[in-house]
Amino acid sequence: MNKRSLGYGFLFGSIAGAITALLAAPTSGKELRVQLKETADDWASNLQDIRLNLTRLKNSFSKLSGEGKEIAIEIIHDIKTSINEWQKEIEPTKQSLFNELKEIQKTIEELEIKTNKNA
């Protein structure tokens, strides 16, 4: 969901709820107009607060995204470093296993040759 859409949803939802509450209240039209005039400044102040809060929320999301990206890059770097170190550590063992496999293969070939001569 788009952040801007979410912000507009909150804003318009708040406005619609307030208007519904005012219109559903048991007052006359004249009293309602007076109340609306009296609360106009409150509405403007509330809208300004909502706008400020949405800006702060947007900045928080941006900061969090940036921090998440930095952490992900750091983790990837650490994983690559660990893999490289592991590969260096196993190299002697890897070479030893390779040599042993060559010896086993050589022994098998010698056994095949002896078996074929005896057959």
Instruction: Give the chain's mean pLDDT.
Output: 80
Query: How many helical (H) and strand (E) elements, i.e. helices and strands, does the chain have?
Result: 2, 0
> Which amino acid belongs to residue 102?
K
- Specify the pLDDT at position 97: 85
Question: What is the value of pTM for the model shown?
Answer: 0.40
Give the pLDDT confidence of 50-76 residue by residue, as tens digits.
Answer: 888 888 888 887 787 777 788 888 888
